[in-house]
Amino acid sequence: MSHEAKTNYIGGKWTAAQAGGTFKSVNPARTNEVIGVFARSHREDVEAAAAAAQAAYPAWRRLPAPARAAILSRAARLLEERKDAISRQMTREMGKVLTEARGDVQEAIDMAHYIAAFGRMPNGSLVPSERADIFCAAKRVPIGVVGLITPWNFPIAIPSWKMFPALLAGNTVVFKPAEDTPGLAVTFVETLIEAGIPTGVVNLVTGFGDEAGAAVVESGAIPVISFTGSTEVGRRIAARCGQLMKRVSCELGGKNAIVVMDDADIELAVKGALWSAFGTSGQRCTAASRLIVHRHVRSAFRDALADRTRALRLGDGLDPSTDVGPVINRRQLDRIHGYVDVGRAEGARLITGGAIVSDDPLGEGCYYSPTIFDEMRPAMRIAQEEIFGPVTGIIEADSLDGALRIANETGYGLSLSLYTADVRTAFRAMEELDAGIVYVNLPTSGAEIQLPFGGTKQTGNGHREAGWMAMDYCTEWKSIYVNYSSSADLVRAQIDTVEN
């Protein structure tokens, strides 16, 4: 992108912020490496984007759904062709290792294929009437302009979960990506443009949350908001949308746990814990930051996990020998380290990690050593608050009931897992674990797009993304009644037809 930072895409044109402000995106593996300079948008830019989206809405809504779907199919093919380049760009802009970046892009490809198929699926129901010669049906209809506010940890996948269903349903979009990954948002939108998305249907405004993001929430031209990010910001957005009577779906934090029972395959459970805790440097909403382990197997599990954790190689995600990349930025690095200090002060026992890496060459980036606490207790802050970094802790349990209770004792409800060899224990877990996603003998991360994704309690506000309900958040149901009787009699409903 040029020095003018024309990174806003509004009404079919790449433009700079009206006030002319810019900001930089940097590589978290070496923060002196600048990825690009981007438009720092404010209210006037968001309003221009919303107006363009409003203007494009009537024609887009009227386009037959299979034609809208064909554009998503082309986007899937273009993303496939560019998967290597986009994945490398992702590792450079936000740090996750290349195999994970490829997985992120693949999710968008899968989502595009999956949602495109809905373009030829039933879009409503025919329903019998209680009256003669009355036709009844209900159909799904779009709402208008959808505002998308997304985080940096899945910079292609999360926008695709929100945007593809919105577009297929006939909505137009204003997209405000995270300030840490604006370059990937530009690439994503460029791909949609090449796929043939009409002018004004997708609009991009880059910038900060309290400026561009807040303006998306406030805009009178945007009746639907979909947000993924921190619970703190989600709570504020949901409250404001309540006042404005806007539709809002929030996908927020997690405090996910893996339960390891005494009959579990310990080797399998250790591998699952290692991946759940340290994959994406712990920066997944599904990361396992609590390991609830039966006391009979706690020391064996802990020692095996600690050995494998010490063997993890930190480094640039582009290096194929790297297991764990940097965290997103200095602010998060300090926040993570602050939580480790909290854990120490609360009396949890640090068994490995617990430090910002400062030696060369990693010291130029945002690296945190993978960290395990033992003797964590359920009420500790490190067992209750989302840390969003490579930090996990072991809590001892002495029974299945106790372990399930501890697992559920958190304000969040995204992803919970249990390892066991006993089918009865597995079914208890499926019943009792209070979360949107439950795994048995699998890590807490690893959702597939054809199943609903989202959480209970403070993880969200009751919505799900992906799956066959992917369009729920951005559509309304319209019920339709048609009288085709040749009689002139008025036949009413909602009235007692028994005369007395």
Sorted by sequence, the CB contacts under 8 Å of residue 122 that are 6+ apart come out as none
Is residue 153 a contact point for Mg ion (CB under 5 A)? no
Q: Which two tokens stand for residue 185?
A: 């948002």
- Answer positive or negative: Cα dihedral of 55, 61, 63, 65: positive
Is residue 447 a contact point for ligand NAI (CB under 6 A)? no
Build a one-symbol-per-residue string for 11-50: x at contacts with Mg ion by CB under 5 A, - elsewhere: --------------x-------------------------
The site that binds ligand NAI (CB under 6 A) totals a number of residues, namely 27
Which residue is catalytic, options 93, 251, 396, 465?
A: 251
Q: Min. distance of Cβ 366 from Mg ion in angstroms?
A: 10
Nearest to 326 by CA among 33, 497, 95, 98: 95
Amino acid at 22: T
Q: Which two tokens stand for residue 72?
A: 């998503």
Residue in the shown chain whose Cβ atom is closest to Mg ion: 25
Build a one-symbol-per-residue string for 87-126: x at contacts with Mg ion by CB under 5 A, - elsewhere: ------x---------------------------------
Q: Determine contact, residues 13/7, Cβ cutoff 8 Å.
A: no
Is residue 380 a contact point for ligand NAI (CB under 6 A)? no
Q: Which does 25 bind (CB under 5 to 8 A by kind): ligand NAI, Mg ion, none?
A: Mg ion
Q: Min. distance of Cβ 229 from ligand NAI in angstroms?
A: 3
Integer Cα distance of 281 and 364 in angstroms: 17
- Tally Cβ neighbours within 10 Å of residue 273: 27
Cβ closest to Mg ion, residue 336 vs residue 383: 336
Integer Cα distance of 480 and 342 in angstroms: 58
Catalytic annotation present for 432: no
Q: Which stretch binds ligand NAI (CB under 6 A): 87-95, 211-219, 274-282, 318-326?
A: 211-219
Integer Cα distance of 68 and 49 in angstroms: 20
Q: Which does 151 bind (CB under 5 to 8 A by kind): Mg ion, ligand NAI, none?
A: ligand NAI
Build a one-symbol-per-residue string for 146-185: x at contacts with ligand NAI by CB under 6 A, - elsewhere: ---xxxxx----------------------x-xx------
Cβ closest to ligand NAI, residue 119 vs residue 365: 365
Alpha-carbon dihedral angle through residues 270, 276, 279, 283, given to the nearest 10 degrees: -150
- Establish whether the linkage from the previous residue to 361 is cis, with ω within 30° of 0: yes
Q: Determine contact, residues 407/415, Cβ cutoff 8 Å.
A: no
Q: Min. distance of Cβ 428 from ligand NAI in angstroms?
A: 27
- Tally Cβ neighbours within 10 Å of residue 270: 24
Build a one-symbol-per-residue string for 310-339: x at contacts with ligand NAI by CB under 6 A, - elsewhere: ----------------------x-------
Build a one-symbol-per-residue string for 174-213: x at contacts with Mg ion by CB under 5 A, - elsewhere: ------x---------------------------------
Q: Which does 285 bind (CB under 5 to 8 A by kind): ligand NAI, Mg ion, none?
A: ligand NAI
Q: Min. distance of Cβ 230 from ligand NAI in angstroms?
A: 3
Q: Min. distance of Cβ 50 from ligand NAI in angstroms?
A: 14
The site that binds Mg ion (CB under 5 A) totals a number of residues, namely 3
Phi then psi for 478, rounded to 5 degrees? -110, 125
Sorted by sequence, the CB contacts under 8 Å of residue 118 that are 6+ apart come out as 65, 69, 165, 168, 470, 471
Q: At what angle do helices 65-81 and 83-94 cross, to 10 degrees?
A: 70
For the stretch 173-189, what's the b/e string if a residue is b when 16 or more beta carbons lie within 10 angstroms of its beta carbon?
bbbbbbbbbbbbbbbbb
Catalytic annotation present for 285: yes
Integer Cα distance of 400 and 404 in angstroms: 6
Q: By the criterion CB under 6 A, which residues form the site for ligand NAI?
A: 149-153, 176, 178-179, 208-210, 213-214, 217, 228-230, 233, 236-237, 252-254, 285, 332, 386, 388
Q: By the criterion CB under 5 A, which residues form the site for Mg ion?
A: 25, 93, 180
| Residues annotated as catalytic (active site), given as ranges | 251, 285
